[in-house]
Structure 1
Amino acid sequence: MSLSGRERRILAEIERALERDDPELAKRVAAINRIEAGGDLPPQPYGDRLRMWALAHVWVLFWMAALVIVLLLLAVLTT
């Protein structure tokens, strides 16, 4: 169901008033509308850095666990 011309004009007035009164909120609403419409996601400045940080920590934990296993095997085999 589409909006009538009058309803579109009222919505446009509301949007202009929002942009004038609270530009930050207007930007957030516009971003939400783009996401819901299937548009681009907003940039995530820490996303890639956080992902690499987590991956590095997983690898460190993996190698530490492997080292502990090897040391335990050596301790058992040498006794």
Structure 2
Amino acid sequence: MGLSGRERRILAEIEQGLERDDPELARRVAAINKIESDGIDYPRAYSDRLRVWALTHVWIIFAVAGVVIVLLLLAVLTT
């Protein structure tokens, strides 16, 4: 989704103010923008790792819940 003309103008004003007030930060932002425009998809790689991490934790929770249920059933059946 593209920016409107007004939004692009506001963004340009912010960028100009940043370059004027903090040239070092502006240089770093420009470097980040260059990396992103070169087609390196770091956010997607991060989101893929996050998804795997979340799914792993969900399976661990299910496994622990299963063990707890089995232990509770054993405790009830042996008393």
TM-score, length basis structure 1? 0.48
TM-score, length basis structure 2? 0.48
